[in-house]
């Protein structure tokens, strides 16, 4: 009996709309790329994808996907431990371990699942999880599924982290968990300090490097390389759905015994389907490419430095940093929406974020750069930002 439940939901939905928080989807009719076609007929330059390395439609990756489709088929119709493990799953896990310098790796259907399946089977009520307050939703949900005692520290505040480490000292095992790169500010976790503290207080470290694997660090090994702590991070989770081809899939990588235990007990691994052969085979090509050359991440970092310099010079207030996530601060929520709307009319696709996704009066346009962007794309974006910025009084000349 559906009864009045539909009516109840309609009211809730209306409330979301009235609060200005209703999410609408813009339809793309082309492949994911720097230049995209919208269903409206409009063409746009895309500055809001997680396509950091431009691999989402890269010809080498598309070819690898087609080839594996011929040799290994489309689907697995099984979980890994029944009949869902092909040679390519093992190959990909080995390649990821080698790339990150870890003992072993376990694939998941998504990083959301990797984070959902990591805590509950490693820690219980005798243990403690100490989490950065701005960690990704999937970490928060994963922690919720676990009986360990929860501690939270202020965002990247090392004094507060030390305080939480002191307060949790009676717990048996403790793990400090952080995003590697935080998605709304583009800032990088202070992994060197975190590793020093966890060594002093005898705790494990887990990093979710979804916005870092493949491009942060001199050879793209992620925040552990950027912060010079290779080998000191015990658990790394990350996604194949952003820089690494952008299809879907995730993984947990780290110390041998930890991955061994996840293979036995991690619920999204045991009770959810194997990663599709197409994605698995294409991801192997991604890691082969990134292990051979840093060309794409170098291009991305050059694009990032160029865009950051020019947009600052144009008078915009940006969050400082080095990551290809560039938050352009607008502060006012409505203004951020108008700004993004006008930019789209000029052919620049970006999204304005406001409360509750970011703190109140901290609305911003989050630009994400890609190795797929050409210099003329960047120049066009900067030009349109300047034009709309002056029109709306965000910058003055």
Catalytically active residues, by annotation: 183, 211, 242
Q: How many CB atoms lie within 10 A of CB 40?
A: 11
CB of 222 to ligand PLP, least distance (A): 12
CB nearer ligand PLP, residue 110 or residue 363: 110
Counting every residue written for the chain, the total comes to 397
Choice between 136 and 319, CB closer to ligand PLP: 136
- C-beta separation of 388 from 346 below 8 A: yes
If one counts every other C-beta atom within 10 angstroms of the C-beta of residue 85, the result is 16
Structure token pair of residue 336: 């951020």
Task: Report d(CA 328, CA 339) in Å as an integer.
Answer: 11
CA 82 – CA 205 distance, rounded (Å): 32
Residue 241 or 389 having the CB closest to ligand PLP: 241
Interface residues with ligand PLP (CB under 6 A) are: 110-112, 115, 136, 138, 179, 183, 208, 210-211, 239, 241, 250
The nearest distance, CB 14 to ligand PLP, in angstroms, is 29
As measured in angstroms, the least distance from the Cβ of 380 to ligand PLP is: 27
Q: Among residues 183 and 337, whose Cβ is nearest to ligand PLP? A: 183
Rg of the chain (C-alpha set): 22
The answer to whether 317 and 336 are in contact (CB under 8 A) is no
User: And the tokens for 220?
Assistant: 């793209």
Nearest Cα residue to 165 out of 136, 204, 124: 204
Q: Which residues pair with 207 in a beta bridge?
A: 178, 236
Rounded least distance, CB 307 to ligand PLP, Å: 21
Q: Which CB sits closer to ligand PLP, 54 or 250? A: 250
Strand ranges, E, within the chain: 35-37, 43-46, 104-108, 128-132, 149-153, 174-179, 204-208, 235-239, 250-254, 325-331, 348-349, 351-353, 363-368
Element (H, E) at 285: helix 277-292
Residue closest to 172 by CA, chosen among 115, 122, 231: 122
In angstroms, give the least distance from the CB of 179 to ligand PLP: 5
Which CB atom, from 76 or from 139, has the smaller least distance to ligand PLP?
A: 139
Q: Give the rounded distance of the alpha carbon of 305 from its chain centre.
A: 20
Nearer to ligand PLP among residue 138 and residue 337 (C-beta): 138
Sequence-distant (6+) residues with CB within 8 A of 266 are: 106, 117, 118, 121, 252
Closest distance to ligand PLP from the beta carbon of 357 (Å): 13
241 vs 254, which CB is nearer to ligand PLP? Answer: 241
Distance CA 83, CA 349 (A): 43
CB 190, CB 158: distance < 8 Å: yes
**C-beta atoms surrounding 323 within 10 Å:** 28
């Amino acid at each position: 009996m559906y009864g009045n439940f539909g009516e109840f939901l309609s009211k809730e939905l209306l409330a979301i709309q009235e609060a200005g928080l209703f999410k609408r989807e813009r339809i793309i009719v082309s492949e994911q790329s720097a230049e995209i076609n919208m269903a409206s007929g409009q063409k746009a330059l895309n500055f809001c994808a997680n396509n950091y390395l431009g691999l989402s439609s890269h010809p080498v990756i598309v070819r690898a996907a087609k080839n594996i489709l011929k040799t290994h088929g489309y689907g697995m119709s099984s979980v890994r431990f029944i009949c869902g493990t092909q040679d390519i799953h093992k190959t990909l896990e080995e390649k990821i371990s080698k790339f990150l310098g870890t003992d072993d790796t376990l694939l998941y259907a998504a990083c959301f699942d990797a984070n959902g399946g990591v805590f509950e089977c490693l820690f219980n009520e005798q243990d403690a999880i100490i989490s950065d307050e701005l960690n990704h939703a999937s970490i928060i949900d994963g922690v919720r599924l676990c009986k360990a005692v929860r501690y939270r520290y202020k965002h990247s505040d090392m004094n507060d982290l030390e305080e939480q480490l002191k307060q949790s000292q009676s717990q048996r095992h403790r793990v400090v968990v952080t995003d590697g790169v935080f998605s709304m500010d583009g800032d990088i976790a202070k992994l060197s300090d975190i590793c020093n503290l966890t060594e002093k207080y005898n705790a494990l470290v887990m990093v979710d490097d979804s916005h870092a694997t493949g491009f942060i660090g001199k050879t793209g090994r992620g925040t552990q390389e950027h912060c010079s702590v290779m080998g000191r991070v015990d658990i790394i989770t990350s996604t194949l759905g952003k820089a690494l081809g952008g299809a879907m899939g995730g993984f947990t990588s780290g110390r041998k015994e930890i991955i061994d235990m996840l293979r036995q007990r991690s619920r999204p691994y045991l009770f959810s389907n194997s990663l599709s052969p197409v994605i698995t085979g294409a991801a192997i090509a991604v890691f082969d490419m990134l292990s051979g050359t840093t060309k794409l991440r170098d291009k991305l970092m050059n694009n990032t430095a160029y865009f950051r310099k020019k947009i600052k010079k144009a008078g915009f207030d940006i969050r400082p940093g080095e990551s290809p996530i560039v938050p352009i601060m607008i502060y006012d929520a409505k203004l951020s929406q108008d700004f993004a709307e006008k930019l789209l009319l000029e052919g620049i696709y970006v999204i304005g974020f406001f409360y509750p996704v970011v703190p109140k009066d901290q609305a911003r346009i989050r630009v994400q750069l890609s190795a797929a962007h050409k210099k003329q794309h960047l120049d066009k974006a900067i030009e349109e930002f300047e034009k709309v910025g002056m029109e709306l009084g965000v910058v003055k000349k």
